[in-house]
Amino acid sequence: MTPSTTSAATDLFDALRLELRRGCLVVAVLAQLKSEQYGYTLRKSLSDDGLVIDESTLYPLLRRLESQGLLASEWREENKRNKRFYRLSASGAHVLDQLLEEWRRINTSIDRMIHHHTENVRTAKNGQAQKVPQRDHVLKEF
């Protein structure tokens, strides 16, 4: 690979990684807000669980999720400072359940695909006839 090819591959990976992270962050934020938190503690709990998120990403996401009716918030004073506390709304809890179910379906499908690919590669390396799964795959938009 040339440096320009490496750079293009890196740029493509970064763009695809960002796209993947966006959807994951929505699910993670909704899941974390089953219990009420304010922005800083939410950001810290996400980070502690391995999902680092910038403030410039988190706060607009919180406002968008609230405007969609998935979160509820209220201002309260804590330690002589006003803080906005967020929690999952009833609608948000329902949507989170649906998203988690979809997440599990997608994970199961991808795991199955990866497992079959690994099996096929192993079989091909051993000199045996390669098996091709005969399945209909349905791709849903989400």
CB under 8 A, 24+ apart: contacts of 92-97 = 92/30, 92/33, 92/65, 93/34, 95/30, 95/70, 96/27, 96/30, 96/31, 96/34, 96/70
pLDDT at 133 over 60: no
With CA atoms as reference, report the closest residue to 59 among 43, 75, 46.
43
This prediction has a pTM of 0.75
Q: 127 CB contacts (<8 Å, ≥6 apart)?
A: none
Question: How is residue 107 written in tokens?
Answer: 């994970």
Contact criterion met (CB below 8 Å) for 88 and 27: no
> What confidence category does residue 1 fall into, taking pLDDT thresholds of 50, 70 and 90?
low
Which uninterrupted H or E stretch holds 120?
helix 90-125
Architecture of domain 3-125: Orthogonal Bundle (1.10)
Query: At residue 115, does pLDDT exceed 90?
Result: no
Give 87-98 pLDDT, tens digit per residue: 999 999 999 999
Condensed to tens digits (0 to 9), the pLDDT of residues 51-110 reads 999 999 999 999 999 999 999 999 999 889 999 999 999 999 999 999 999 999 999 999
The answer to whether residues 95 and 30 touch, using CB atoms and an 8 Å cutoff, is yes
Structure tokens at 54: 């910038």
- Look up residue 22 and give its two tokens: 């966006």
